[in-house]
Every structure is written in structure tokens, then in C-alpha cells.
Amino acid sequence: MEAIIVNNLSKHFGLVNHGIKNRKREKNQQETTIKAVDDITFEVEEGEIFGFLGPNGAGKTTTIRMMTGVLKPTTGDIKIFGVDAWQNQIAVKQVMGNVPEMANVYVSFSGWQNLMFVGEIYGVSKKERIKKAEDLLKKFDLYEKRNLKAKKYSKGMNQRLLLCMALMSNPEILFLDEPTSGLDVQSAKIIKQLIREYNTQGMTIFLTTHDMEVANELCDRIAIINHGKIISLDTPINIRKITQDYQAIDLYFTDGVKPQEIKNLQSIREVQEIQEGLHIIVENIHDSICEITDYVKSHNIKIKHLSTHQPKLEEAFLKIIERGIKNE
Ligand SMILES: Nc1ncnc2c1ncn2[C@@H]1O[C@H](COP(=O)(O)OP(=O)(O)OP(=O)(O)O)[C@@H](O)[C@H]1O
Ligand SMILES: [Mg+2]
């Protein structure tokens, strides 16, 4: 079953009117409207981790805000487990957990009080609330700090507490807007591990991220969004394939020599100087290694270290965006 079905979804924002008369505004309607989300259609399967990846201002938060019933779509509709997200907000909110971008916990409450409060709103029984809060705080490594006021929490603790709050109601689907953005390694690691753990137990997860590694590590499928449009939707492996002809080799030679003539070899596309070595973009790792070995043998140069790189998701992302811009 599909957990989310999004059909022809758009959100247009009007720009601020600086005293321009209405008639004139109508005339300039096209220029005064931003298409933050521009006619997107996609589905998320139950049990999937689905990622929305895109640059600043691409429309990720606007999409998630429409999905979580905060913003009314200009056109199109969203169904969460078959239920219309705007028409039946209460029903939909009962099955979802939500961690918005730049959200705040109740700062004058302790971590514990925040969880009790949210549990009460969701009608979780007192016994259940206490058990659930203890479990979550332990899992998210906040139990020791449960009685500390949330205003004294670090950013990473704040984000972990928000996740605990979103999970208090045992949601079937979790929406996370930039769950690890700006966090230290330790907090990000805990969050990633737990996203995976909850997903293994069957929870569907929709997340937005800037972080290619997060998308790569966590997501079953990724939609790349730019200027309000989905420009690619696929598995991380397939998205990486787009840059298959952008494999790379890092080469270091003894005595720090950097033979620039390597760039004249047939199978080599580009050579960049890096500290004490060369970063070489190639089309085919095997062919290039054969050619390089022949070259060093005949020139009496010794290789100190060689490592190969598969194309990174980040490179695929930039390439897809570039291609999208060219096609616009
Ligand atoms: N309430 C609003 N009024 C007018 N314009 C808005 C509003 N909210 C968002 N926008 C505009 O819509 C576009 C998409 O914004 P959105 O916040 O969805 O992007 P994003 O992909 O989440 O970016 P980021 O990575 O920076 O979080 C931007 O051009 C933004 O300025
Ligand atoms: Mg955003």
C-alpha cells in the first residue's frame, strides 16, 4: 500500500505588495507569484525511507508543510494512507509524527515535561506515557538530562527531544525536515541509527536533507527537487549511476612527483592537483590503471599509494541539477 500519494501538487506564494494598485498587480500577476512547489506527483510506499534532496529554496519545506497539514496546497492533493491530508487533518495527524524545520520544544519545560505534555495531547494514558517517555529518552541518550529545562539543551539535544516528542504517539509515518542539519557527529549518528531502527520496525519515513551522505545512507529512494520541480526520482544507486563515467583515482608517487603528462593518456578525462598527489577523473577504472602502470614503468616512477573512488551522490546531484537547468 502507498503511505503517501501526491498528485499535481503546487504551492504559489504572492510577493509582498509594496503599495502597488490592485489593477496593476493583476497585470503583473505572473511576476508577483513564486511557484515554491510546481506541479509535483510522486508516491511513497509503506515502510520506505523516502528522501527529498535539493538546494536552498528548492521547495522541500513547503512540500512537507503541505503534507503535514500546515499549508493549504494551491493545487493538487495529498493522501496519507488513503486519507486527504488537508480535508481530514485530524485523522491524518493521528497517524503522523512531525519534526519541522527550526522547531522549538517548550523551553521552560524539562525534557520529561515536554514528553508528558505531548503524550497528553495525543491521549496516551498516564502509565503508557511514562513508559514511552522513559524508553525514548534512554534510546535518544537524553535520560540523564530528563529533568533539565529544555532551554539548557544543546541544539543536538533539542533535535533529539523533538524526535522523542514526535514518536510519543507511535506514529505510522514520520516527517522529518532536515533531521541532522547543523548537528554534531554524535547527535547526527544517534538520529540516523534510530531512523533506521524505527523504519526496520515498519515505520514509513519522509525526510528532507541537504546532506548527500544522509540521503545515501538512509533512503530507499530519493527525489531531487529544484525550483519546485522533481527533476529525478530513483534509488541512491541509480542516481549515482548517472555519474558512472565520473569515477576517480587518487595517485601518490614517491618523492612527491606529480607527472602532469598523465593527463595525455587516452582513458583519462581530467587531472586535478591535490596535496602531494593527483586526483584523476576517468571513464573506466580498469583501463586507466593499466595505462597508468605502463606509463610509470616506462618513466621509472614509483607509485606510493593509489585509491579509487566511485562517484559520490553529491556529484550526481550537481550533475542532475545542471542538466535540469540546461533543459529549462
Ligand atoms: N510563506 C512564504 N511566503 C512567500 N514565499 C515563501 C514562503 N515560504 C517559502 N517561500 C519561498 O518558497 C521557496 C521554497 O522555500 P522552501 O522553504 O520550501 O525551500 P527549502 O527547499 O525548504 O529550502 P531550505 O533548504 O533553505 O530549507 C523559496 O523561494 C521561499 O522563499
Ligand atoms: Mg527547508
The Cα–Cα gap between 205 and 246 comes to: 31
Ligand 1 atom 31: the closest Cα is on which residue?
57
pLDDT of residue 85: 93
Q: Is the pLDDT of residue 307 over 60?
A: yes
* Span 88-145, pLDDT tens digits: 988 998 899 999 987 778 999 999 999 999 999 989 999 999 999 999 999 999 999 9
Contacts of 262 by beta carbon, 8 Å cutoff, 6+ apart: 251, 268, 271, 278, 280, 292, 295
**pLDDT confidence bin for 278, thresholds 50/70/90:** very high
Q: Is the pLDDT of residue 305 over 80?
A: yes
3-state secondary structure of 245: helix
pTM recorded for the entire structure = 0.82
pLDDT of residue 317: 79
Percent residues over pLDDT 90 in the chain: 65
**pLDDT confidence bin for 16, thresholds 50/70/90:** low
Please report, as a single letter, which amino acid is at residue 143.
Y
**pLDDT confidence bin for 29, thresholds 50/70/90:** low
Average pLDDT over residues 289-300: 93
Ligand 1 mutation target, pool 35, 38, 61, 181, most atoms within 8 A of CB = 61
pLDDT of residue 319: 80
pLDDT of residue 315: 75
- The C-alpha cell 618523492 sits at 255
Residue 57 beta carbon below 6 angstroms from any ligand 1 atom: yes
Polymer length of the chain: 328
The Cα–Cα gap between 293 and 273 comes to: 19
Q: Please write down the HEC assignment for all residues of 84-106.
A: ECCCCHHHHHHHEEEECCCCCCC
How many other C-beta atoms lie within 10 A of the C-beta of residue 28? 12
| Of 32-36, 62-66, 160-164, minimum mean pLDDT range | 32-36
* Span 217-255, pLDDT tens digits: 999 999 999 999 999 999 998 888 777 767 889 999 988
Ligand 1 mutation target, pool 11, 12, 13, most atoms within 8 A of CB = 13
CA of 273 to the centre of ligand 1 (A): 38
308 or 25, greater pLDDT: 308
Average pLDDT over residues 66-70: 94
CA gyration radius, the chain: 25
pLDDT of residue 259: 84
Average pLDDT over residues 289-310: 92
Bridge partners for 98 per DSSP? 175
- Residue closest to 151 by CA, chosen among 115, 99, 104, 102: 104
Q: How far is CA 22 from the centre of its chain?
A: 40
Query: Is residue 232 classed exposed, middle or buried when 0-12, 13-18 and 19+ CB atoms within 10 A define those classes?
Result: buried
Q: How far is CA 156 from the centre of its chain?
A: 17
CA of 181 to the centre of ligand 2 (A): 10
**Ligand nearest, relative to CA of residue 63:** 1
Average pLDDT over residues 291-308: 93
> H or E element: which one contains 300?
none
DSSP state letters, 133-198: HHHHHHHTT-GGGTTSBGGGS-HHHHHHHHHHHHHTT--SEEEEESTTTT--HHHHHHHHHHHHHH
Q: How many CA atoms lie within 13 A of 113 on its CB side?
A: 11
Pull the grid cell for residue 100. Answer: 519541522
* Span 169-226, pLDDT tens digits: 999 999 999 999 888 888 899 999 999 999 999 999 999 998 778 888 999 999 999 9
pLDDT of residue 196: 96
The Cα–Cα gap between 222 and 243 comes to: 16
pLDDT of residue 252: 94
Ligand 1 atom 25: the closest Cα is on which residue?
56
Domains of the chain and any CATH numbers:
2-236 (3.40.50.300), 244-310 (3.30.70.980)
pLDDT of residue 212: 79
CA of 40 to the centre of ligand 1 (A): 16
Q: Is the pLDDT of residue 22 over 70?
A: no
Q: Is the pLDDT of residue 30 over 70?
A: no
Which chain residues have CB less than 5 Å from ligand 2, an ion?
Answer: 60-61, 101
Please give the mean pLDDT across all residues of the chain. 89
**pLDDT confidence bin for 324, thresholds 50/70/90:** low
Bridge partners for 83 per DSSP? 80
Q: Is the pLDDT of residue 316 over 60?
A: yes
Residue 56 beta carbon below 6 angstroms from any ligand 1 atom: yes
